[in-house]
Amino acid sequence: MNPWYKLRKETVISLGGLTLAWQIASYFFPPYLFPPVPAIAQKFFAILIDRDSLANAGATAARIFAGLTVAFLLGAVLAFVMARSERNYRYVYPLLNFVQGVPALSWVVIAIIWFKGTEPRILFIMAATTLPAFSFQIFDAYRSMSKDLFEMTLSFRPSKRDLFRTLVLPTIVPGVLTAWKVNLGNAARVVGVAELVGATGGIGYQLLMQQQLFDMAGALAWTLVLVVFVLVVQQVITRLEGWLLAYRPSAERSA
């Protein structure tokens, strides 16, 4: 049996069960607590066909990508700094570990104090909350490099560029892609909080509007928009991963 078919079947059953349970609950609770599924679906599709709503969703997507890009670049630099020597590792690792332990709400307060503009605040929050994971994932991928393979490659006396291209880069690519998939979910959870620091657009701002209107159906619809965005981008990354790592033997091909 095709495992992907089995996965899709199980996904449909689990999500269908959740939807059915929610619809049943809507018969026993008021709409502001458990709105009917058709009402949520109506709000969701209304967002997809409204230009202003799509602009809000696009603003959130742009903020997520901007924050992740900055965090990835800085995280990669710090990862290679740690990889260069044990001494660098002993200095940088505790700092990253400390940054990772700071709650997102604390970064919101710090951003409000440090920055005046909304976009710098959101960019700072998104980058600060995702940078440690990028650094740790890339560093762990680099450290997993085979020592024997590394020494064998050095025996050919490659240039630094060739060494990075032929050995280091293929070694860290799986870790980089995994870090992007993990951090994408983290960024989606943080972006709503980040957009509450004065943003006048975005999914977080729209969720605040739904809360003020006490519109649970609208809040769930906007939440689904963010969830669908994350799932689509993660699927794109998964396809990219399959293309970049096609040279690696898979369990199906080796069986």
Enter the tokens of residue 92: 């940088």
DSSP letters, 89-118, are: HHHHHHHHHHHHHS-HHHHHHHHHHH-SSH
What are φ and ψ of residue 48, in 5° steps? -70, -20
Instruction: Say whether pLDDT at 253 is over 70.
Output: no
In a domain, 124, yes or no: yes
What CATH number does the domain containing 86 carry? 1.10.3720.10
Whether residue 250 is contained in a domain is answered as no
Dihedral over Cα of 102, 109, 189, 180: its sign: negative
CB contact at 8 A, 129 and 110: no
pLDDT at 254 over 50: no
- Whole-model pTM: value is 0.79
- 41-99, pLDDT tens digit by residue? 999 999 999 888 899 899 899 999 999 999 999 998 998 888 888 888 898 999 999 99
Q: State which H helix or E strand residue 160 sits in.
A: helix 160-163
* Count of structural domains, the chain: 1
CA nearest 231: which of 19, 68, 11? 11
Report the mean per-residue pLDDT for the chain: 82
**Residue 209: count of CB within 10 angstroms of its CB:** 14
**Structural domain contains residue 45:** no
Residue 139 belongs to a domain: yes
Give percent of the chain with pLDDT exceeding 90. Answer: 15
Residue 202, both tokens: 């975005």
Q: Which DSSP state fits 250?
A: P
Q: How confident is residue 224, by pLDDT bands cut at 50, 70 and 90?
A: very high
Domain with 150, as residue range(s), is 52-244
Residue range 188-200: mean pLDDT, rounded: 80
Given a cut of 80, is residue 17 above it in pLDDT?
Answer: yes
